[in-house]
Amino acid sequence: MTVQKRSVPLDGMRALAIIAIIFYHLMPHVLPGGYLAVNIFFILTGFFVTASVIKEYSEKGKLAYKSYLSRRFHKLFFPLLSMMIVVTAYITLFQRGLLLNLRPWILSSLGMFNNWWQISVGASYFEQFYVQSPFMHLWFLSIISQFYIIWPLVMLLLLALYKDKRIILYTAVLLSLFSALAMGMLYVPGEDASRVYYGTDTRLFSFMIGSALSVVWPLERLDEPVPKQIGRRLTLAGLLSYAVLGVMFSSMLDSQAFTYRGGMFFNSVMIGIAVVLTAHPANFISKILRFKPFQWIGRRSFLLYLWYYPVVSLYQAKVVDTSVDPGRHVLIQLVLILCLSEIGYQLFEKERRKIPFGPSWRLGDTFSKRKLSGSLGFTGHFPEKIFATGSVCLLLIALTGLVQAKSGKNADVQELREQIAASQSKMEEINRDASARSRAINNIEGLEREVVLFAHDADITFIGDSVLLSVSDQLVTIFGRAVVEGAVSRQLYQTTEVIADLKKREQLHDTVVVFLGSNGTFTRTQIERFIEEIGTSKDLFFLTTNVPRIWKDSVNEQLELAESTHSNVHLLDWNAYSSGHGDWLLEDQVHPNPTGAQQLALFVAEQIYQELNDENGSN
């Protein structure tokens, strides 16, 4: 059995991985742990790179390092460069606002140090509304490239010194443990996790697990036949490993401390076990993952990864309001991702093309006229000169954009960030020290006196995301005893630890107001769990969302359903109240500007006063 045939089911695993990653970005509530799927790619990379180096060293006593790097980077570089040229040309022509700071994103990505550059500038993988770059996902390729360069050299040194491949196993195990320990130690609970998520040092354990498995269970061992009883046991073990991974992918949140303090390491161990079991031909899962749909997606997984984030980020930036007919918007994005990935696959995987420019490129040497009827779907001959001319035109447009691109900070985004950061810091201080609150009861324009008096003395807890933080100053002015617990990009299903902490601090009051839904929707099970964790004895107010995203209607429908089934749940219909008042919102049409923040705070005060007064009057 050839190595290629033995790795076919692992292409199926790649398919599952890229599907999980895409759905994590399109519909995070469906697969909140989808970000973990990158570990599959890391482990498979470690597995195959280690196997390749050991095989060549065993056969030849050396590694043709230059040839090895050339093979690896040829598969990465040309598809990557073509994607960046096309995306930059598109931005130059149609979304010029995104040219800001584009040069360092491109240079760091092509230089294969994008992950460390993002860490240095404080870029966050987990902030949904700050569209920093369509190239944010390229941290992943930088880590893989760094592994390609360094790990073979380490292996060659170890093999030269110890003459035994088991030293690679021992080294990989030790490095994986040190890496997992580094992730746990560097992670700071409550802060953005991008440092440990992006870091080569803190993600190395996944590669090392793959490397260790490659030594212990090389693919060549799969030629050995096993009894049917063993095959059934392998299938059972495989099903169990996939079940555990399914639970992780559906429940391990990117905001949990456990994720970075052992959880992601355990996830990688389970993926490693699943890889070995999947690769064995006696395992029934191996047969399932050989199905053509899995193979089709798996073989294109690299191109799908290259294109998914640019498509999603640029589409959402261009089509600001995707809340109307959300299914259509999801379908359009998926079709764009598939089409662009397929074009890249046909050009760079099937045709083995190079970008038609540069000192080593010559039209006659690199291209010949080929029929692409079986690939891109055209009949006849593909006009190579048109392809070459089009590529050069795109390059010139992209270069023009790069020359024109300015450096600096997006004023609107920076203002919002600073406002939210200041509000969060202030709220944390107020929550810790009640003396930081204003004790004076002032008249508030827009509120009747009885509402002002009610609000000032009301014990209320606010839980929310950046929308809550952007209006927190106004809320605390009105609600003098309020506890405000907000965090950027928070999702409703990420609040279990938050609620537990509020209970521990005795700051979960009898009235709870929730500002969640701007970053994504949630399932019926998730909101029911949230209501149960808050407690059915508390008055629970949900603010409807006006976010112009595909999940708006889903969020509001779930909230309406919760109100209809729980007597303690009430809606604050900000979506309806703010309709037609675009002048209350910032450019993103989500966060309120100062006028909108004041209007929102007044609206919340009036609605809660009215609801609780009516409730008390009826008792």
Helix (H, G, I), strand (E, B) or coil at 461: strand
26/551 Cα distance (integer angstroms): 10
Share of the chain above pLDDT 70, in %: 87
The per-residue pLDDT of the chain, averaged, comes to: 87
12/578 Cα distance (integer angstroms): 47
Query: Does the pLDDT at position 375 exceed 70?
Result: no
Helix (H, G, I), strand (E, B) or coil at 443: coil
Which residue do the tokens 């379908």 mark? 331
Query: Does the pLDDT at position 572 exceed 80?
Result: yes
H/E stretch holding 300 reads none
289/355: higher pLDDT:
289
Residue range 419-434: mean pLDDT, rounded: 68
592/24 Cα distance (integer angstroms): 27
Q: Are 445 and 162 in contact (CB under 8 A)?
A: no
How far are the Cα atoms of 140, 184, 535 from residue 314, in angstroms, in the given order?
A: 19, 34, 41
Which residue do the tokens 């996902």 mark? 137
Helix (H, G, I), strand (E, B) or coil at 182: helix
Residue range 491-495: mean pLDDT, rounded: 91
Task: Specify the pLDDT at position 359.
Answer: 41
Task: List, in sequence order, the alpha helices (H) in 187-325.
Answer: 194-198, 200-216, 228-251, 257-258, 264-279, 284-288, 292-299, 301-318
Query: Does the pLDDT at position 285 exceed 80?
Result: yes
Task: Specify the pLDDT at position 353.
Answer: 57
161/367 Cα distance (integer angstroms): 45
CA 554 to chain centre: 21
Cβ burial 584-597 (10 Å sphere, 16+ → b, else e): bbbebebbbbeebb
Residue 423, Cβ density class (10 Å: 0-12 exposed, 13-18 middle, ≥19 buried): buried
Residue range 459-474: mean pLDDT, rounded: 93
How far are the Cα atoms of 155, 315, 405 from residue 83, in angstroms, in the given order?
A: 33, 16, 18
Least confident of 60-64, 216-220, 374-378: 374-378
Residue range 599-610: mean pLDDT, rounded: 95
Residue range 240-250: mean pLDDT, rounded: 95
Helix (H, G, I), strand (E, B) or coil at 133: coil
Q: What token pair was written down for 226? A: 């096993």
24/35 Cα distance (integer angstroms): 6
Q: Are 461 and 507 in contact (CB under 8 A)?
A: yes
- Domains of the chain from N-terminus onward: 7-404 (no CATH), 412-618 (3.40.50.1110)
Residue range 245-265: mean pLDDT, rounded: 93
pLDDT tens figures, 130-147:
556 899 999 999 999 999
pLDDT tens figures, 166-194:
999 999 999 999 999 999 999 998 788 99
Q: What is the DSSP letter of 486?
A: E
The residue type of 183 is M
Query: Does the pLDDT at position 223 exceed 80?
Result: no
Question: Taking each helix axis from N to C terminus, what angle separates 301-318 and 8-26, rounded to the nearest 10 degrees?
Answer: 10
Helix (H, G, I), strand (E, B) or coil at 464: strand
Q: What token pair was written down for 364? A: 């006659």
Could you count the other beta carbons within 10 Å of the beta carbon of residue 29?
A: 20
How far are the Cα atoms of 302, 478, 540 from residue 12, in angstroms, in the given order?
A: 13, 56, 45
How far are the Cα atoms of 94, 499, 507, 509, 540 from residue 504, in angstroms, in the given order?
A: 51, 9, 8, 12, 19
Query: Does the pLDDT at position 376 exceed 60?
Result: no
The residue type of 105 is W
- In angstroms, the first-to-last Cα distance of the chain is 77
CB-side exposure of 274: number of CA atoms within 13 Å?
A: 28
Residue range 596-600: mean pLDDT, rounded: 95
Can you say whether the dihedral through the CA atoms of 527, 533, 534, 538 is positive or negative?
positive
pLDDT tens figures, 38-52:
999 999 999 999 999
Q: What token pair was written down for 551? A: 């999940």
Query: Does the pLDDT at position 90 exceed 50?
Result: yes
The residue type of 226 is V
Task: Specify the pLDDT at position 183.
Answer: 98
Please name every residue paired with 371 in a beta bridge, in sequence order, or none if there are none. Answer: 381
Q: Give pTM, 2 decimals.
A: 0.85
Q: What token pair was written down for 424? A: 């969060």
Query: Does the pLDDT at position 374 exceed 70?
Result: no
Q: What token pair was written down for 545? A: 């969302």
Helix (H, G, I), strand (E, B) or coil at 531: helix
Of 141, 86, 63, which is closest to residue 108 (Cα–Cα)?
141
